[in-house]
Amino acid sequence: MSRIAYVNGRYVPFAEARVHVEDRGYQFADGVYEVCAVRGGKLVDEEPHAARLKRSLKEMRITPPVDDAALAHIMRETVRRNRVRDGLVYLQITRGVARRDHGFPAQAKPALVVTARNLAIDKYDAAAATGVEARTVPESRWARCDIKSVSLLANVLAKQTAREAGAYEAWFVDDKGFVTEGSSTTAWIVDADGVLRTRQLDQHILPGVTRGELLPMCRQLGIEFAERPFTVAEAKAAREAFITAATVGVIPVVKIDGKAVGNGKPGPVAQKLRAAYWAERS
């Protein structure tokens, strides 16, 4: 079956999906996006993803192209038409098409694109079972990482640096030596005192949906945690580390810059949280 995409009011064959050459997302990265996991044909954590999208649109001063109910229907219909059981749905909203000019256009109509595809989720299970490596890179992104903007060049370059080093993920490090987040994930450690730590929400990190869902789960499981930044040195001396994201859930990090974290194997906190997270969504 050929894939189907939603583009500005129409469901079209994926191979025929097009946006205008003067779409501001293409020319200025003037847009936002969301990625929502699909499990068993159902959207995972749909409400917090929708809330984050609305926040990003508000911060960018982009008017939503459709209302909440219509967007939810479009996402589900795109998943259904593509027969996605386990995978993801991607949506992107830009300021629209206008003559190229840096300032906001007066008449542009926001553009909406939605796609969905299946994923081989067993590869994430395999990564979780063995653990992965993270490589640290200097923070090189703009000052509003809390907006889920389509401007991801620094993230792309960081991810490629990690892959060329044989690692799974890159962790950005600010000028004070603190880890901010991964190129496409939230960064966590269980420090030397046994406290689970992840950076507090601010303009320097994306408010991860999976992050937000895990914190109350930690309370339920009796896991001590602190929303407090950690240095690279603390991460390398930690008992365990892991990353989180919508499509992967929780993935243990067993090496940082080639150095083993803890005993070099997936830790019990990461394993417990991964199991609990997906159990609630099965």
User: How would DSSP label each residue in 4-73?
Assistant: EEEETTEEEEGGG----TTBHHHHH--EEEEEEEEETTEESSHHHHHHHHHHHHHHHT---SS-HHHHHH
Question: What confidence tens digit (pLDDT) does each residue in 174-231 have?
Answer: 999 999 999 999 999 999 999 999 999 999 999 999 999 999 999 999 999 999 999 9
Report pLDDT for 1. 59
Over residues 96-152, the pLDDT tens digits come to 999 999 999 998 999 999 999 999 999 999 999 999 999 999 999 999 999 999 999
For residue 255, indicate whether it is catalytic.
Answer: no
Name the catalytic one among 54, 58, 148, 265.
148
- 135 shares a domain with 271: yes
Last residue of a domain, one of 78, 102, 119: 119
| Same domain flag for 109 and 192 | no
Verify that 141 and 269 share a domain, yes or no: yes
One domain, residues 150 and 275: yes
**Which residue, 84, 101, 119, sits at the end of a domain?**
119
Q: Give me the CATH number covering residue 152.
A: 3.20.10.10
Question: Is the same domain home to 96 and 73?
Answer: yes
Statement to judge: residues 113 and 135 lie in one domain: no
Per-residue pLDDT band at 2 (split at 50, 70, 90)? confident
Q: Which residues of 69-105 are buried (b: 16+ CB within 10 A; e: fewer)?
A: eebeebbbebbeebebeebbbbbbbbbbbbeeeeeeb
pLDDT in tens, 39-73: 999 999 999 999 999 999 999 999 999 999 999 99
Same structural domain, 149 and 26: no
Q: Of the candidates 119, 142, 175, which is a domain's last residue?
A: 119
Q: To the nearest whole number, what is the mean pLDDT of the chain?
A: 97
Same domain, 61 and 130: no
Domain CATH number, residue 60: 3.30.470.10
Residue 27 shares a structural domain with residue 84: yes
Please enumerate in sequence order all residues whose Cβ is within 8 A of that of 192, keeping only pairs 6 or more positions apart, or say none. 234, 237, 238, 239
- Read off the pTM: 0.96
Domain residues for 255? 124-279
Count of domains forming the chain: 2
Q: Exposed, middle or buried, 271 (CB in 10 Å: 0-12/13-18/19+)? A: middle
